[in-house]
Amino acid sequence: MTPREVFERLIEGVTAGDWDRLPELYAEDAVVAHPMAAPGEPLVGRDALRRHFEHAATLPLEMSARDVVVHETADPEVVIGEFEYAGRITTTGRRFTIRNIFVFRVRDGLIVEARDYADHLRFGLAIGRPPGPLAAALADDSP
């Protein structure tokens, strides 16, 4: 697959909730960074990505991608995708939108490196599970 096709397959898999198949889009030693997420990144290796997607499968949400723009670069391995997830929390009906930019390096049809610039704070708040220190601060009942 071309880098564009890999990007499109990933977005289709996420929006379809096809979490089990998504790790197969990544190389065994892939490195995925989430620069806007809480510390503890990057995810290294397909097993770490499998655990990441297994967790995503437990979340009560539906998502679609819209306003998708794919930028092919001078580097034939690199593709940049801009889009918005429009989501709904299935347990509450609450709706949310999150803008994203993915930068992928694809080699031999597999993602070897990725940077996912998504607003993880907004996503965490939407699902009622804010990431990192904010979760601890919100759980703290002290004045």
Using one digit for the tens of pLDDT, what is the confidence trace for 59-85?
Answer: 888 999 999 999 999 999 999 999 999
Distances (CA, A) of 19 to 9, 10, 58: 12, 10, 10
- Maximal C-alpha separation, the chain: 55
Alpha carbon distance 96, 17 (integer Å): 17
| Strand partners for 43 | 32
Distances (CA, A) of 50 to 79, 82, 95, 135, 143: 22, 24, 26, 24, 39
Residue 17 pLDDT:
92
Range with the poorest average pLDDT among 33-37, 80-84, 92-96, 123-127: 123-127
Residue 134 pLDDT:
44
Q: pLDDT category, 143, cuts 50, 70, 90?
A: very low
Is the CA virtual torsion 18, 97, 121, 93 positive or negative?
A: negative
Domains of the chain: residue spans and CATH: 3-136 (3.10.450.50)
Q: Is the pLDDT of residue 111 over 80?
A: yes
- In this structure, are residues 81 and 102 in contact, taking their beta carbons and an 8 Å threshold? yes
Mean pLDDT of 21-43: 88
